[in-house]
Amino acid sequence: MKCSPQRSHIMRSVKSKNTGVEILVRGIIRSLGFRHYRLNVKTLTGKPDIVFRKAKKIIFVHGCFWHGHDCGKGNLPKSNIPFWDEKISRNKARDLKVIEKLESEEWQCLTIWQCETKETDALTNRLSEFLK
């Protein structure tokens, strides 16, 4: 499918935001003293963002828009609605399947949403609970 210039502009801005969120989450993880993790592990279903192999724990960092979070930040753009609606629905369905598959392989999964990174204390607590 061909991307209109406007559409790829939206994609770029959303992607770069998501990367910033990942960096923030990794910073918190390091500040909690966890240093042994791998990023974007291709050999696992869904290429998880942050993987703790020994502990069998996985953290996904999801952009609210791309992954269809129900928080307001996940609202669809005003134009090309059918396109986005279909794309985001596919992403959501895939995310669910990925987590089901990983959990069936005994991985513990945690999803961090972009919007949650505004509350750094709450996020730090969640990560600390999950990783301990």
**What is the C-alpha separation between 4 and 50, in angstroms, rounded?**
32
Give the contacts of 84 (CB within 8 A, at least 6 positions apart): 76, 77
In terms of CB distance, is 21 or 131 closer to Zn ion?
21
Q: Which residues bind Zn ion (CB under 5 A)?
A: 64, 69, 71, 73, 113, 115
**Minimum CB distance to Zn ion, residue 13 (Å):** 16
Element (H, E) at 38: strand 38-39
**Minimum CB distance to Zn ion, residue 82 (Å):** 22
In terms of CB distance, is 71 or 81 closer to Zn ion?
71
**Minimum CB distance to Zn ion, residue 92 (Å):** 13
**Minimum CB distance to Zn ion, residue 114 (Å):** 6
**What is the C-alpha separation between 113 and 132, in angstroms, rounded?**
20
In terms of CB distance, is 4 or 120 closer to Zn ion?
120
CA distances (Å), 124 to each of 46, 64, 117, 127, in order? 24, 19, 9, 5
Give the contacts of 11 (CB within 8 A, at least 6 positions apart): 3
In terms of CB distance, is 55 or 123 closer to Zn ion?
123
